[in-house]
Every structure is written in C-alpha cells, then in structure tokens.
Amino acid sequence: MPKGRLLLPAATEQHILRGPGFPRPDPADSTGKTFKRRKENNTVITQHQKDGERFLAIETPRWKSEILLSVGSAMLELIDRKTGWNLLREPPSMEALKKQPEIYGFPVLIPPNCIYKGKFTWRGRNYTLPINNRFGNHIHGVVLRAAWEFLDADEKEDKTVVRTHYLYDERNPMFAGYPHKMDVILTYTFLPDRVLQKLSVRNLGETVMPFAAGFHSSFRFPLGPRTPEAYRTSSVRVTVDDFYWEFDKTVRYTPTGRKLPWNGYDTFRKGKIINRQAVSRQSPLKEDLLDGKPFLGAVLTFPEAGVRIVYEFDRKYRQTALWNWDGDEDFFCAEPMSWIADSPNLPLPESETGLYPLEPGELWEAENTLRVEELEKGE
C-alpha cells in the first residue's frame, strides 16, 4: 500500500458521523451504522492525503474514483474499468485546481453560476456574496471551496454507497451574506452498470431560503488522445429546449431573461459535432427520447474511443449550461442546474427561473445517473 494511504479496516466496524437534520438509523439496525468491506466483492475505500489535501478513493469491480474532500467534495476521477477510460477532466496540479476548482471533475454548486455584482433582494431580504470573477460578479456559490467530511459508506452485494457531508453555517465566510444554515450530503452509488449522483440539502434555519443547486460537470473531451480525428468525430447531444437565454456580454455578463431561438437547436438535440468550436450557452431542458425511452440530460459520443457517456439529469434540474471555454481545451461541461444564472435578479416568475423557496426543515433531493456504453462498430 502506498505510504500515507489509510485503509478503512476490512471486517472492522467504523462508527460513522451523520449530519444534523438527517434521520439516524435505529440502534437495533446495523444497516448504515457501520462500514464493512466485503472481501468477495473486492471493494476498497481509502482516505489519504496528497499535496496537503484530503481525498477519498473508491474502487469497485467496475469503477475507480477519487473525491477531493477538502475542496468541495469534487469527484476528480471516474475510471470505467471495463473500458479503461477516465471520464472526467483532472487538474494538472493542486495549484491549478485551487485557482479554478469549477473546471475539473464534478464540483457541487449551491447556488450555481453567477449573481450580478453578488447582490440580490428576495422577499424583502438583502443578500450579498463576494465578487469572485473577472466580470465583477459572484459565481458558483458557497460550498465549492469548502472542506467537506467523509460521512459513511455501505455495501450490499453489487452496490457500493459513499456519502460525504458539509454543514453550511456561521463558520463559512459567506454565511453573513447568505445566512441560511443547511446540511448538504453528496451520495455516490456505484453499481455494475452505472453511477448515481445524489445531492441532498436540508434547510436547518428558521426562515425560508432562496435555493438552487447544480454540478459544473466537466468531462474529458475528446475522450482519449486529442487527435484531429477524435475532435472531428466526437459529439454532444443535449435535451435543450427550443430557445436559450440571451446573455449580456457588455455590462452585466449575466442572462437578461430574453429568449432567443437556437441556431443549431436541432443539431444539439440530435448530436452536435463540436470540433474545437467554442460553446457557451444556458438553456432550459426539454425531455426527449433516448433509445425509445424518456430522457433528460446529455450524451457524449466518442467513436474513436468506442464509447458514449450517458448523463441523465434528475427532473429537478430544469436548466443547463453548456461550456467549453474557447473550444480548444480538453473538456466539455454539460451542467445540470435547478435555476437560470442570476435568477433572483431576472424579471421572470420563479416558476420559470427555477428559484426554489426551501422552507425551514424541508429536504431537497435530486439524483443524476451516469453510465458508459460501448459503441458498435460504425456508430
């Protein structure tokens, strides 16, 4: 075992911590109370330190993953052991990740995307979040850079469940400007044919909170070597609506609330060849069919690698952001979001923007599904 990696002991009970606001198991029921490694399934979960940061590593027969606990609980690695591909964009260094954590792996955003000048007023209350992007706005919320904790793990037959936890309260430097205590749990379930990504948030405060959540999901693009043929053949299909949100690129650098028709709308819904083209759009989502079944989300297809990634969104994520910087990088972001960027400042009803009033004690949950499918020859 590499030096510095701490293996959770096999066949040894590890008492777990559970976040406040979530139900605790019955003391007579051992399910979920303890973690045990099942030898017959060859599942290993370790906690280790690297570059001064805390990581959680998960290995199952199908998947190999690494989660950076100390910076946002972002999953930075997801290797499909069946095909050998790492699906996510990894940072070249810890310095690069800390500078811009939202562009690597699966970072959690609460709330997602930007707020004009970091300010808004909602139900008579003023909110202020720090300016942290080059356009003078706030971007990506209050948990992205926070230090999370490993909560618990469980395994039953061919299912491995891992949960991480963050308690947002007065200790967070942004709490004064967004003063709503909340319990946040991120659950990854590793199955033989898919990975489930579940976000659970409970309002622990005494007042209703303006809530939204999302993932800045950053996939390697293209998958495999960055050859001209790989760029020429790799495609992205997203179940976008008939329009996208106009973006003010001169003053506010946020959506205006106006709807514009897609140029290439049908292309994105059917599968768009990116080929180094810059993409930066936010759009509502509209259910479509995939293999004859209802589907909401994104499909990234890589003929050169011989696989496609199917990323299905929970229906609570009604918006998406599509982004790949200047198009000449090694990633594509297909981001599930529950609201439009800058929702509280838009002249639109909450039913359209997605801003959700999370009541005291209320639990919000949404679960995405990711799977990797091998392509038939000629696909």
Spell out the residues 6+ positions from residue 199 whose beta carbon is closer than 8 angstroms to its own: 108, 184, 185, 186, 187, 213, 215, 365, 366, 367
Half-sphere exposure (CA, 13 Å, Cβ side) for 379?
Answer: 13
Phi and psi of 317, rounded to 5°? -90, 100
> Checking DSSP bridges between strand 114-115 and strand 138-139, what pairing results, if any?
antiparallel
Strand order in the sheet with 44-50: 5-7, 44-50, 53-59, 63-68, 74-80, 85-86
pTM over 0.75: yes
Position 264 scores a pLDDT of 66
Position 379 scores a pLDDT of 66
Q: What is the DSSP string of 314-368?
A: PTT--EEEEE-TTTTSSEEEEEEESS-TTGGGSSS-HHHH--EEE-TT-EEEEEE
How far apart are alpha carbons 63 and 9 in whole angstroms? 20
How far apart are alpha carbons 309 and 80 in whole angstroms? 11
Position 376 scores a pLDDT of 87
Q: Looking at the domain that runs over 5-374, which CATH code has it been given?
A: 2.70.98.10
Which is nearest to 85 in space by CA: 370, 306, 312, 324? 306
Query: For each of the chain's 379 residues, which pLDDT tens digit applies?
Result: 332 222 333 322 232 333 333 333 333 333 333 344 444 568 999 999 988 999 999 999 999 999 999 999 999 999 999 999 999 999 999 999 999 999 999 999 999 999 999 999 999 999 999 999 999 999 999 999 999 999 999 988 899 999 999 999 999 999 999 999 999 999 999 999 999 999 999 999 999 999 999 999 999 999 989 999 999 999 999 999 999 999 998 999 999 999 999 876 668 998 999 999 999 999 999 999 999 999 999 999 999 999 999 999 999 999 999 999 999 999 999 999 999 999 999 999 999 999 999 999 999 999 999 999 999 876 6
Position 286 scores a pLDDT of 97
Position 10 scores a pLDDT of 30
* Domain segments of the chain as ranges: 5-374
